[in-house]
Structures are given as C-alpha cells and as structure tokens.
Amino acid sequence: MTSRSRIIIAIGAVFATAIVAVAAVVLLAPPSPGGPAASESTPLPSATETPDPEETLADSADAFLAEWVEDGRVVRHDQGGDTVSEGQAYGLLIALAADDEQAFSKIWSWTQDNLQRPDGLLAWQWADGAIVDDEPASDADVDAARALVVAGETWGDADYTAAGVELATTVADTMTVETEVGRILVPGLWAAAADPYQYNPSYASPAAFAVLADATGDPRWDEVSAGSAAVTTTLLEQSPLPPDWAQVHGDGRVEPMPGAAGTGKSVRYGYDAARLPLRYAESCDPADRALAGDLAQTLGLTDPLAAELDLGGAALGQAQHPLGYVARAAARASMEDYAGAGSDLYAATSLAAQSPTYYGAAWSVLGRAMLESDVYGGCAPMGDDSADDGTDDGDGS
C-alpha cells in the first residue's frame, strides 16, 4: 500500500468508526446464484480489537486464510460449514494478495479434487463430504480462471496458466451468448439456453475479461467485456443503481428483475449488485471506471449505508455489510475521492471484525486488493499511479 493510501485510510478510520457506531450491525447471508437459498448466516464471535488502520493488504489476506481456509477448503463457518465455488475462487485470489503460493496450491488442489466437473467447470456447492449442487456459477469460474492465469505469471508455473486458459475457454464455450447488445456472460448453464437470458450484472468483470483475453487470445472475452459494458450502461440509464438481477433479450432489450428468473422479492441493489462498482473500478479502461463512479452520488445519500437499497438509493432495511462499504469505496475512488474511499474501506474492515462472516471477510480483503494494488492484473484506482495527485509524500512509495 502506498504512503498516500495509508494516510487516507488512517484519516478515514475516524469517520468510519462513527459511521459503524451509529446503528446496530446486522449481517445477512447473500443468496446463492440461481440455486437454492443459502443457509442463514450466523456471524462468528466479534474480534476483541479494533482493526489497525495501518494493517497491510498482505496481513489482511493472511488473516482471511487463517480464519476461513482449512486444508485448502474455504469454509463458510457462518453458513453451516459448507463450501461453494465462489469461495474457492475468492480464496485463490486472496492467496495471491498474500503472495502465499502454498495456500494457493492447497486451495486449487482441493477445488480440483472436490468441485471440478468432468467438463472442467466447477460445481457450485459442497457439503458434508459431497457435491450437493453441481450447477456451475460463471462468476466463480471466471474468478478462478483469472486467479490461475495470474498465478502462472506471478510464480512462473505453466500448469496454472494452462488450467486457467482451459477453464476460461470452457466458460466462453458454454456460458456466454450473443445478443443484439453484444456477447454477454450468463450466470450458469441453466441460463444459456433460453431467450430472454437471465443476467447478473455483478458477474461482469472487465479486468478479469482482459486478463483472460490476453492469456487465451480468444476474441470472445473482448466481446464479453464490450457487451457487459453495454448492458451496464443501459441499466444505469434506467436507474441510478444497478439491480442484483436482470434479463437481456436477444434483441438487446434489458430489464431489471427481482431475482434469478424473477424469483426474488423485489428489484433491488444488494449483495450481488454491490460487486459491480468494484469490478468496474479496477478496470484499466477509463470508460469502465466512469461507470463505477456514476454510482458514487447515489451511494452517498445515506449513512449508515444499508446493505440493500432500492434502485434510487433508499434503504431497504437497517442491515449493513462490509461489501456495501467496499462498493461505495470503489465508486468514490473512481471519482478520485480518495479520502471518502479510505473511510469506506476502513468501515468495511470494522464491520467484518465486529460481526465476522465469510462473505464480508472475503470482500473486505478483495476490495483492498482490487482498489489498492495491481496484484490481479487490473488498474487500481487507489494505487501508486492512479492516486497520484502530483504531490510528493516524501518517500516516493
């Protein structure tokens, strides 16, 4: 982390502490993607110490690996002790942030042994020693492929690179479709066969798509990036915030939906959609980063920031979640509001410590990694180059 980032987060800690203390914190589990509902989340006992604003990204990543990973399995202790492909992918990315090749190897080995299907995709859920939902989730597979490609380059391991390329190619073959608005990534095999196509806006990851395009030489990943941006732009023309779920018609029409295939309670910005500003903020394309920045004003309407909002930014309950603050940090960083972003990152860390959950802990680390470093091959808006305002902080770091 740069000296500038340390100063920003230290100052932001004062404001974030006040934000978190305003209301009691309730953390809920996000739903599973198009599959059975996730188990109710029961946060672990809270940490006894206030998070250190000076804690490095590597320290935060190490803490996640120690708390949530057992012999290569990312365990959702707060949701009955199961494991999902999303968690394994997050674990791979966090091991990269920790520069822990041994942890990465164990996580990938467990994933191969227990989740990888005959077609190479990853089954969604494992519990009590067996797969209980073999439907792949495309965002998890994209994140895993990205992690493998980056690991291959970082540690000079051609096997990781080959595995990432193979997984990415299978995803492109089976879980991307062409529409009039462009090629899009659908959430799973179940969503690839019927028009209108069910679509999760937060699965779009321009930086990941760029990494996979470079590694595979497959033009479909550039097409997916362009199609995703077109869908995101359309959604943000319809409302200030993106929905958790949408559907894309073959003729290019895009509509927000209350859930996968319309199964949710209401259209909302919540535990899925909050990932979108972060995914776009780490892109190296200024147009993508501008899309993330477009959310900053609406996400700044209320404090404390509720985990679920309507598409105009009004709170849908009192629950807070680390991801909500990480998302706002991404939007603010994209607008070069680095002090506000630092405050929100610290708020996310504080929430994750006060009421630990797998999803909150993961995103408090991933948020920092994506916004402060280029460890995943993106362009961090709070990194050395992006956050430089031309001043000299004295040590050049």
Question: Contact 263/274 with Cβ under 8 angstroms?
Answer: no
* 130 inside domain: no
Do residues 116 and 148 touch, judged by C-beta distance below 8 A?
no
Within-domain flag for 241? no
CB atoms closer than 10 angstroms to residue 170: 17
pLDDT tens per residue across span 260-274: 988 888 999 999 999
Q: What are the Cα distances from residue 151, in Å, to 120, 121, 144, 359? A: 18, 19, 10, 23
115-172, pLDDT tens digit by residue?
999 999 999 999 999 999 999 999 999 999 999 999 999 999 999 999 999 999 999 9
- Does any domain span residue 161? no
353 falls within a domain? yes
Inside any domain, residue 362? yes
pLDDT at residue 206 tops 90:
yes
Q: Tell me the chain's radius of gyration from C-alpha atoms.
A: 19
Q: Is the whole-model pTM more than 0.85?
A: yes
- Categorise residue 99: left if φ over 0, alpha if ψ from -120 to 50, beta otherwise: left
**Residue 80's closest CA among 137, 140, 40, 45?**
40
Given a contact cutoff of 8 angstroms between Cβ atoms, the answer to whether 390 and 60 are in contact is: no
Whether the upstream peptide bond of residue 304 has omega within 30° of 0, thus cis, is yes
Domain membership of residue 286 (yes or no) is: yes
Query: What is the model's pLDDT at position 10?
Result: 44
What pLDDT does 60 receive? 97
Q: Domain range for residue 320?
A: 1-30+212-230+262-387
Specify if 207 maps to a domain: no
- Give the single-character DSSP code of 250: T
Asked if the model's pLDDT at residue 39 lies above 60, the reply is no
State the pLDDT at residue 147: 99
Residues in Cβ contact with 199 at an 8 Å cutoff, skipping those fewer than 6 apart: 184, 186, 187, 191, 231, 245, 246, 247, 248, 254
- Answer yes or no: are the C-beta atoms of 14 and 342 closer than 8 Å: no
Q: Which residue has the higher pLDDT, 21 or 390?
A: 21
Mean pLDDT of 28-34: 46
Please report whether residue 240 resides in a domain.
no
Alpha helices in 217-301 (DSSP H): 220-238, 275-281, 286-293, 296-299
- When divided into structural domains, the chain yields a total of 1
**Location of structure tokens 């909002």:** 309
Contact indicator for 133, 123 with CB cutoff of 8 Å: yes
In the 8-state DSSP scheme, what is residue 124? Answer: S
Query: How long a stretch of residues is the chain?
Result: 397
